[in-house]
Amino acid sequence: MYRHGTVTPGWVARNETTFEYVDERYIEVLPVAGLSARGASGGAWVNERGEVVGVQSSMMSLREIPQGLLFAAPLHAVRDLLHSRTDAVAADMGLAVEELWEKPPEVIREYPASTRGLYVAAVVEDGPAAQAGLAVGSVITAVEGRPVRFRDQLLRLMRTRPPGGTLRLTVITREAAGPRQVTVRLVPLKEVQQRTREGGKK
């Protein structure tokens, strides 16, 4: 990465982008293994051929200590911004999810043994997901009738829909005897962020 006249080494951690929950929203990023100084956002990540592959946007830290994983805005997003010169309008449903298999065994055992899906870890108060009946502890097992196990599957599909569109989710809870169908209306990401500031997350 080149920024402020300095060069920082790093290695692309995976060949495709992923979604990370940063500042209470999901952003599409290219993960880079490396360390950078604070204030490096906006620096260009360049490959060995001198081609820009992304722009530094954030980093993973724990108690403000860098963890060796950086996040770069992917090149296609930078190109879109330069072309349109307007903010992208992304759709969101106001929740954060984790892959169920990542949860501790005592949590996984609260659901039927065959359960696979996404554990709802946070819900924005009065946001679209909350209005549809989702709560912390709900598990999303399918989206539009297709099984979902990984976070990126849900988020990539969500980001192909415009605000005002909907997603049909199959959900199970600890209390319910079986799965149920819910429809979540997508809203602009900025609206979810505003509700988060006003009411917080459940």
- CA atoms of 140 and 179, how far apart (whole Å): 9
Radius of gyration of the chain (CA): 18
Give the model's confidence band at 79: pLDDT under 50 very low, under 70 low, under 90 confident, else very high.
confident
- CA atoms of 50 and 179, how far apart (whole Å): 51
- Return the structure tokens found at 178: 């079986």
Query: Quick one: pLDDT at residue 78?
Result: 82
Give the model's confidence band at 164: pLDDT under 50 very low, under 70 low, under 90 confident, else very high.
very high
> What burial class does residue 127 get, using C-beta atoms within 10 Å of its C-beta: 0-12 exposed, 13-18 middle, 19+ buried?
buried
Give the model's confidence band at 137: pLDDT under 50 very low, under 70 low, under 90 confident, else very high.
very high
In three-state secondary structure terms, 188 is: strand
CATH number of 91-199: 2.30.42.10
CATH number of 2-84: 2.40.10.10
Domain borders along the chain are 2-84, 91-199
Contact 18, 12 (CB under 8 A): no
- CA atoms of 139 and 115, how far apart (whole Å): 9
Query: Quick one: pLDDT at residue 2?
Result: 66
Distances from the Cα of 130 to the Cαs of 68, 124, 165, 198, in angstroms?
34, 7, 16, 15
Query: Quick one: pLDDT at residue 82?
Result: 81
Q: Does 2-84 match 91-199 in CATH topology? A: no
Supply the DSSP string of 92-155, one letter for each residue.
E-SEEEEEGGGS-HHHHTTS-TT--SEEEEEEBTTSHHHHTT--TT-EEEEETTEE--SHHHHH
Q: Which of the pair, 80 or 3, is modelled with greater confidence? A: 80
In three-state secondary structure terms, 14 is: coil
Contact 177, 142 (CB under 8 A): no
Which range, of 84-98, 111-125, 162-176, averages the lowest pLDDT? 84-98
